Structure 1
Amino acid sequence: MPASAPTSPALPSPSLHSPTPSVSSLSSRVSAELERLNLSAQQLNSAETDLTEARAEFRRRQSAGLEAMTAARVAAGPSCIEAARPAYEARRRCQLTQLEARAAAARFLRQASPTSSAEHQRLARRCHELEAAAARLERSVRASVARRAKPYFDACERQRRLLEEQKARVDTLEEKRRICKRVYQETMAALEAISEEVHSAQQPLFPGLDPDELQVTEMQSLCMNCHSQGVTKLLLTRIPYFKEVVVSSFDCPDCGHQSRSTDHAERIQDYGVEFKLRVSKPSDLNRKLVRAPGSEIRLPELDSVFPGSEASVSTVEGALTDVLDNLRSALASAATSAGPDGVDRLAAFINKMQGMIEAENPSFTLVLRDPSGNSFLENPSAPAADPCLTVRRFQRTREEDEALGITPADAEAGTNGNASSVVANGDADGAAAATGSASEEFDRYGEVLNFQVNCPNCSQPTESRMKLVRVPYFKEVVVMATTCEACGHKDSSVKCGGGIEPQGVRLELAVQEPFDLSRDVLVSDSCMICIPELEFETEQGSLGGKFTTVEGLLLAIRDSLAETNPCLLGDATETPRFGEFLARITALATVVEEPDATQPRFRLILDDPAGNSYVQNLCAPDPDPQLQCQKYDRSEEQNESLGLTDMKTENYAEPNS
């Protein structure tokens, strides 16, 4: 299936309160680049279509020629063919040398140099020698054997000419596609540069920690102590290699009440996250730990849970030290309010926990659970897997959604259900007629649905688009994309239709040629990705749902690693190993752009317990020799992570006993 060129990026709207480039100059530049983009996209799609058809024709000719050669070989007999083969091969070498001699003669006539003359004479002598050798071999073969073997060698010659002709066409189309792709990428880069130019001229909502950029917003607010009017100050900033935060302070001039707080401004993730670290050596205590509000730290050996109300950036040892400080403060206050037994038990617990942390060879388990999904625990071995660290993403409970301020899904469903019942009780026939009319007019594969949402980055109203796509030889998928014109944030996701498959699937693609990087790939939100040559493996669902190409998947992995491992970038890193790994992934994805570069050769493995991932088969419906597909039965842990263990599939209308 030819890959379609992506749509052009949406340009942000200039702010009215910040200097922006000239509107007329921007308009002319954008118009010119968009016209160039549309033209290059059409040419790229046409080149992709022609190249796919040419490759299919090459495989068809190869298969048809092989059948003809096999039939001719059976008719002539293997013994006759082997007896006549030396004579035909000698005649073939003679013909090739004659072609070279003619080319040398043409060069001699054009240049008339001693070098071209010597080359022409050498090839002429070689032609006479090969002609004599071919004649001797032909005389040594019986006439009946030569006649019986002739159809086979004629079929071989026709097959060679047809394949050479089609191979030349494929090479020409590959070069044309490479040029079109380069022009398309240059145009996209120009549009991105214009977008960055506009954004750089605007005042960012969350500026960096530069004192010249920081702006404090003041507003009147009610004092909760004396109910007079106080002053609230807000500072919006972004901490490097971390997230956006809102620093707020309140002062009441009447009663002197003050309060300070630091809150996350990052959006709540779709899933919660749980890090489980087995601390077995002192260096594990130095791992960086980012704790979001509402997260909790668990120590199973002590059967203890320590909730956190404020955001913090520290290490494992620093986070546990903060817990100890809070416990010591509680111990000081308990000395006057609690009995001797409670004070002694708390003091013993503090000593036990401190001894566990300060041990020469620590051995305990730390669990960091965050329903918002914004906490982070460093993996020093990234991008390789860490045997001491386990990362699990989970679906939040109703209580956790309510604590985060998210409306429960069943409440919305109940509201929709009431509305549906009103329609049903009112005019069922009219509703059915309207539904039938809408279904007749709606093109499920051609229409793009638009609906209003709030941008997860800046909370401004924006538009999200959704489209149903049928993937050949696979299933239907829902592609969703959101682009915010206010801040330029872009987000996309893919959801598979049809539910969870009865078995999991393991797809292994051997990338051997540049065009393998253009294969379509669908990665579901339950898929694990592995590249053995890079010793790289992702957690299940860590990349989310994506419908892209092999090249796009590699670049998405690179960007995701850089985003989810902030402690290994910038001046915080202690080794260039992580940066070198990102460079290796980039090299695998971009080597196709150089026609004379070394061909990429690696294996891409997709392991999806839900069976909803896909890699394009270039030989469909026949098997692809470079693509291996293996289905397997899921384990109990995989069924539990997919929510199948407690799923009720029979008599689900009845309440659980």
Structure 2
Amino acid sequence: MEPGRQRENPPGSGEPESGEWREESAAVETGARDDTLKNRSGDGGNEETTSKTENTQYEEELDPRIQEELEHLNQASDEINRVELQLDEARSSYRRILTDSARKLNAQGSQLGACIEKARPYYEARRLAKEAQQETQKAALRYERAVSMHTAAREMVYVAEQGLLADRNTLDPTWQEMLNHATAKVNEAEEERLRSEREHQRVTQLCQEAEARVQTLQKALKRVIIKSKPYFELKAQFNHILEEHKSKVVQLEERVAKVKTRYSVALRNLEQISEHIHAQRGRIRAAKERNRARGGRSSPVGAESEGDITFDMVLFAGERGRRGAFEEREGAPTCHSALSGSRSACADFAEGS
């Protein structure tokens, strides 16, 4: 037999023909390649399932916090809009009443003539007398409170002195400290009582002088006071209405400020949650890098960015009005569908390799 020439098997020898041998070899190679692809696909599926399970568990832990803060944010936003509308209406009503009152008072003044200006000092004196009376009442309350504090401080001194006299042989530092503290309180209360007493006397004197001036002007301007009475009564009525509306405006402004504070708190909480998520994702990436450095299996393509939640995404989800905490826009795929797409791309890449 010549070298390099293939030996032909004689018929009936029991050995396979060369064509049959080539077919069996091709079948074995095809089966081995199919097994390899199945193993690769199985490994990718396991990695995908593990990553998906971990990501789902982590999102389930975050969903309550994010959803709660989004609810607070939406509630605060709705309340801000509602209260600001009420505030705009209250301000418009105040301006409308102010304009209407000025128009009616001017018309009334044109009818009554000069008697209004002549009687104005009397009504101004009445206003000052009323304010002085209110200040007198406040000063009287402050004086009564100072007297009560002075009496209580003197009782504390008496109790401390009795405690020290109970045992004359030893000097208890606790009773001594209590006595010093009570004595200081007595001195402070005495100063406050004297100051309140002087203030009460001063405002009482002013109130008496204001009332005396009212009586004097009432006698001197009796005729013009009677003639101009409709004008000043109408003015007092409008002033009362305007004060009520002004008080309502102030209350609504304070309410808006409080709700805006709640809105800011919810924003800060969402920002802290976002920072916490990024920090935890960073630790997960660092752990994966260490595993790869030690010879561990690398993560699938796109796994490092899987499940990342940014602060802008959270705010955008809140503005969408509870359509899903992570939905980017109407009709677009959610974060879960985007991640599924990346996993499908990984599987296709494995099959193609």
What is the TM-score when the length of structure 2 is the normalising length? 0.49
Higher relative contact order (CA 8 A, sep 6+): 2
What is the TM-score when the length of structure 1 is the normalising length? 0.28
Higher Rg of the two aligned structures: 2
Greater fraction of residues in strand? 1
